[in-house]
Amino acid sequence: MSNHPKSDRRRRGTAVVEMALVLPIFVAVVLGIVEFGRAMMVGQMVTNAARESTRLAIIDGSTNTSVTTWVKDFLQSSIGVASADVTVQITVVAAPGNPSPGNQIGNALPRDLVTIRVEVPFDKVSYIPGNYLNGKKLSAQSSMRHE
């Protein structure tokens, strides 16, 4: 003979059903928070890479190759993304009176505007696999005048 009344046994079954309904939603919300946090962190690292690479680019002696290599190495070591997945776009606009540098940092003269844009596909850095953000990119851009 059981010591529990009939209503206690029914209540236990209700708790199991409630947990079966609520637990998947709770887990999905927690995983969404983790993914959002990861996206924020990676976005900040991409912003840092763009800003620091622009600082590197405006100094005499820098080249497009050295800046691109620095960005890819920085992002690979900080967020673990493969360097082949990082896109770096360098644009150099001549200041008034300066000849065109042809988008080459090495040819830039003082006051030329150097802009660096860095992009990383989100699906390459996300923790949770899925197709919900395929094709979306985390990007940042920074511009500074050449010294």
Task: Kindly report, residue by residue over 15-36, the tens digit of the pLDDT.
Answer: 888 899 999 999 999 988 998 8
Q: In this structure, is residue 16 part of a structural domain?
A: yes
Q: Which residues pair with 143 in a beta bridge?
A: 115
Q: In this structure, is residue 68 part of a structural domain?
A: yes
Q: Hey, what are 84's tokens?
A: 């082949």
Domain total of the chain: 1
Q: In this structure, is residue 66 part of a structural domain?
A: yes
Give SS3 for 146.
Answer: coil
pLDDT-derived band at 65, boundaries 50, 70, 90: very high
> Residues 32, 37, 42, 46: is their CA dihedral positive or negative?
positive
Domain that holds residue 127: 6-145
Q: Hey, what are 131's tokens?
A: 């197709």
For the cut 80, the answer to whether the pLDDT of residue 9 exceeds it is no
Output 72-80 pairs: Cβ under 8 A, ≥24 positions apart: 74/48, 74/49, 75/45, 75/46, 75/49, 75/118, 75/120, 78/45, 79/41, 79/42, 79/45, 79/120, 79/125, 80/125
Q: Compute the average pLDDT of residues 118-142.
A: 87
Give SS3 for 42.
Answer: helix
Q: In this structure, is residue 104 part of a structural domain?
A: yes
Q: In this structure, is residue 31 part of a structural domain?
A: yes
Q: In this structure, is residue 1 part of a structural domain?
A: no
Task: Kindly report, residue by residue over 91-107, the tens digit of the pLDDT.
Answer: 999 999 999 999 899 99
Number of H helices, E strands in the chain: 2, 3
Q: Which residues pair with 93 in a beta bridge?
A: 113
Q: In this structure, is residue 69 part of a structural domain?
A: yes
Tell me the pTM.
Answer: 0.82
> E strands of the chain, at which residues?
87-93, 113-121, 137-145
The predicted pLDDT at position 3 comes to 64
Q: In this structure, is residue 88 part of a structural domain?
A: yes
